[in-house]
Amino acid sequence: MGENSKIEWCAHTFNPWIGCTKISPACDNCYAAAWDARWGNSWGPHVRRRTSAANWRKPLAWHKAAAAAGERHRVFCASLADVFDNDRSITSGWRGDLWHLFHRTPNLDWLLLTKRTQNIARYLRPEEYGDLPKWGDGWPNVWLGTTVENQEEADRRIPQLLAMPAAVRFVSAEPLLGPVDLTPHLCPKQWSCDFGAESGGGSARGTIPKLDWVIVGGESGPRARPMHPDWVRGLRDQCQAAGVAFFFKQWGEWGPPKPYPIPAQPGEMTRFTVATSSDSKRVGATVWRVGRGLERQSEFMDRKGKRAAGRMLDGRTWDGMPEVMREGRADA
């Protein structure tokens, strides 16, 4: 249920409750749903299950340890649920207790990752749960993130995420199921509006913030879908150009063979072929050269398992962290 997380970008995981409902392509092979099918009964509508009082006490111990060490620890909340799930089985008391827990643990950075960005504004009202400060410009120890498995979901969810103030705004492109262009969201944008006389005149101006952190990972598990290396490289290059932190978490079930293949050249487009080897342990990927007819270059992904596939991209690991971490806030 928590602590000593195996997730590379956090120290602990905490689940205030368990259960969810599949809502997008990223959910098709959900590891949490598979776990719940063996150990619980909390997937689908109206069956969320709150975790034990002992589990809820763990973050207090993590906070105490972080404070004693002069560190900050990142906590992923919730790996087996969605904090912004609007299912009716999640009571206001559960959510209120969670906000109080965030407030009592200022040495923990709470990472809230959701696919339900349309619900964030509705639930970011901690003052409704007793003597708590308003969300305002965001609590300094609560980060907001969303999953963007493909371009469609990126275009829908990211603007809703960026509309909310937060100490850190991030995306997790995992499982990455296709090429994604995040360029419009990696730099702040200015906006302005002049009102006509019929509206009383005047004008308004503001800034749309940027993403602070991009996490990328492939899918794991027996039904995992392969991820093309150029999809990962594309996001890495976008982040590097914009100065945004990039974190490559894993290849997942499918990884590139060694030695690593030569990346596609700029201006090329990539896609997976449908062909697989006879034993279904190799998937071909084709690089189509724009403006060069049928000339192409093949790249393959081997089914080797998450551990063997590892997390090396083009010969190195990528462990970028958001600016708030580089400015001196310690981490474990």
Name the range with the highest mean pLDDT among 6-10, 30-34, 69-73, 188-192.
69-73
pLDDT band of 34, cuts 50, 70, 90: confident
Based on the number of CB atoms within 10 Å of its own CB, is 294 exposed (0-12), middle (13-18) or buried (19 or more)? exposed
Strand, coil or helix: what is 286?
strand
Query: Model pTM?
Result: 0.83
- Architecture of the domain whose range is 12-253+310-326: Alpha-Beta Barrel (3.20)
What mean pLDDT comes out for the span 292-300? 46
Contact 218, 248 (CB under 8 A): no
Show the DSSP H helices in 77-150 as ranges: 92-104, 120-123
Is the pLDDT at 320 greater than 90, yes or no?
yes
In this prediction, residue 265 carries a pLDDT of: 54
- Identity of the amino acid at 190: Q
pLDDT band of 41, cuts 50, 70, 90: low
Question: pLDDT tens-digit profile of 98-155?
Answer: 999 999 999 999 999 999 999 999 999 999 988 899 999 999 999 999 999 999 999 9
When mean pLDDT is compared across 39-43, 74-78, 172-176, 259-263, the lowest value belongs to 259-263
Question: pLDDT tens-digit profile of 172-229?
Answer: 999 999 999 999 999 877 656 666 666 666 666 666 789 999 999 999 988 888 888 8
Strand, coil or helix: what is 228?
coil
State the Cα–Cα distance between residues 124 and 84, nearest whole angstrom.
9
